[in-house]
Amino acid sequence: MAILVDEGTRLLVQGITGREGAFHTGRMLKGGTQVVAGVTPGKGGQDFEGVPVFNTVEEAAKETGANASVIFVPPPFAADAVFESLDSGMSTICCITEGIPVHDMLKVSNYMRVKEATLIGPNCPGVLSPGKSNVSIMPGDIFTPGNIGIVSRSGTLTYQIVNELTQRDIGQSTAVGIGGDPIIGTDFIEILKKFEGDPETECIVMVGEIGGNAEQRAAEYIQSEMSTPVVAYIAGFTAPEGKTMGHAGAIVSGGDSTAEAKSQALQKAGIQAATNPTEVGDLVARTLGV
């Protein structure tokens, strides 16, 4: 079983004719994902590698039955692309776009409260369920089907940890990159809850980083609400205070936002916390008894 995307996912790509959209659509198609439509205003009636292109998400959804979308739209227009997907009934929306203005995401966040949909991102790698569906920019060749759920604020660390698991013949159920911006659509707790409800996910890897207190809130939730074992890793132990590291949300302001404070909170909650990505693989293997 998988969360968010699976064999029944019918994907719509917003920005399919742009450079990034075209490149990653090609990769998703080669990986077996059901890409049923693309959207680029003004280019309706064309096609990309056999995928029909429409002018609007509403039109594309009605014609193809698309139920999920991935967004490769430039930052000034990305929030409107999210609104369009929400209004057209997409159940899962992955916004890959980086650099969306914070005030735009505030509007999206408020609108999400009245919509029954899951928004992953922005500034994220997306969602991948190995062997089922790839709605992401993640390299599918390093994944293998299995029972480890992954939720991460970091794209590159997700790939590294997946590779560590795959090299140990430990497969993954779904990998979710939630993004590293200050305002995102879905946080750790929402994804952890979905994995907890998935009978085929036997262990979860949670990858955090400096900035904010999302990891501490997740630790409290894991301790009080979850039975599925969790292995965690926090990046940024050597990050200098006050400096943004990679993601807009990854900035140390002292106190609870440091990697050390987050790791201590996890351990206090009884969660295994690795000190490096390789150790994540070792702890997962030990947890599974393999």
Tens digits of residue pLDDT in 23-39: 999 999 999 999 999 99
If we measure between CA atoms, which residue out of 21, 174, 4, 153 comes closest to residue 93?
Answer: 4
CATH of domain 1-123: 3.40.50.720
DSSP labels for 55-105?
S-HHHHHHHH---EEEE---HHHHHHHHHHHHHTT-SEEEE------HHHH
H or E segment at 234? strand 230-235
- Assign domain 138-290 one CATH number from 3.40.50.261, 3.30.1600.10, 3.30.70.260, 3.40.50.1110: 3.40.50.261
Residue 8 pLDDT > 60: yes
Tens digits of residue pLDDT in 209-263: 888 889 999 999 999 999 999 999 998 654 455 555 454 444 445 556 777 888 8
Residue 199's Cβ-count burial label (10 Å; 0-12, 13-18, 19+) is exposed
Domain assignments of the chain as residue spans, ordered by start: 1-123, 138-290
- Percent of the chain's residues with pLDDT above 70: 92
- Cα separation, 140 vs 129, in Å, equals 9
- Cα separation, 260 vs 271, in Å, equals 14
- DSSP H helical segments within the chain, as ranges? 19-30, 57-64, 75-87, 102-112, 155-167, 188-196, 214-225, 259-268, 277-288
Average pLDDT over residues 166-170: 98
- Residue 14, beta-bridge partner list: 39, 71
Residue 198's Cβ-count burial label (10 Å; 0-12, 13-18, 19+) is middle
Residue 276 pLDDT > 70: yes
Is pLDDT larger for residue 211 or for residue 160? 160
Q: Are the C-beta atoms of 204 and 271 separated by less than 8 Å?
A: no
> Catalytic residues, which ones?
247
- Residue 260 confidence (pLDDT): 83
Q: Do the domains at 1-123 and 138-290 have one common CATH topology? A: yes
Q: Are the C-beta atoms of 53 and 39 separated by less than 8 Å?
A: yes
**Tally of CB atoms within 10 A around 63:** 12
- At a CB cut-off of 8 Å and minimum separation 6, what does 19 contact? none
Q: Are the C-beta atoms of 173 and 147 separated by less than 8 Å?
A: yes
- Cα separation, 180 vs 274, in Å, equals 20
Q: What are phi and psi of 230, to 5 degrees?
A: -125, 135
Q: Are the C-beta atoms of 7 and 205 separated by less than 8 Å?
A: no
